[in-house]
Amino acid sequence: MIINHYGITVDSEKPIVGVINNSAISQFIADTELNGIDLDWEEHCQECHEYLEHDECNCEISRNTVLIGDWIKDKDGKYTHKPEGEYAAIVNEIYTQVVFSKYTKRCALCSPCFPGQGDIDTPGDFLSYDLPPEAYEV
């Protein structure tokens, strides 16, 4: 089935980004986020170093956007998922978006906040990328 979901064309047989509430995977996030790539910190350090005479930054900022899983930097310095990786996800304050994974799950589509993306928490007909099974172990 192919539909238009808030301006994004979605095919129920092709995996889409999966979205999950962080409360459902809090222990998994706690275990993986520390080894993740903190995009807010990287951006801060780049800006901070422009004002410092040395390369040390002792500022403290909150971690709001962290990449977990298998990511690489492309030739332009932007992050992309490793095609041969297990999964790649973006952890934000409330939700995690699984942008690539070897694992998939059938689910409903998200609210308009996440057009063209699947709600991993809600069963449905659309194929979405999912986190590895250990993400759900308590």
pLDDT tens across 3-34, in order?
Answer: 999 999 999 999 999 999 999 998 898 887 76
Q: Is 63 helix (H, G, I), strand (E, B) or coil?
A: coil
Cα–Cα dist 90/101, whole Å: 12
- Secondary structure letter of residue 16 according to DSSP: B
Predicted local confidence at residue 38, as pLDDT:
79
pLDDT tens across 44-93, in order?
Answer: 666 665 555 555 666 666 557 899 999 999 988 899 999 999 999 999 98
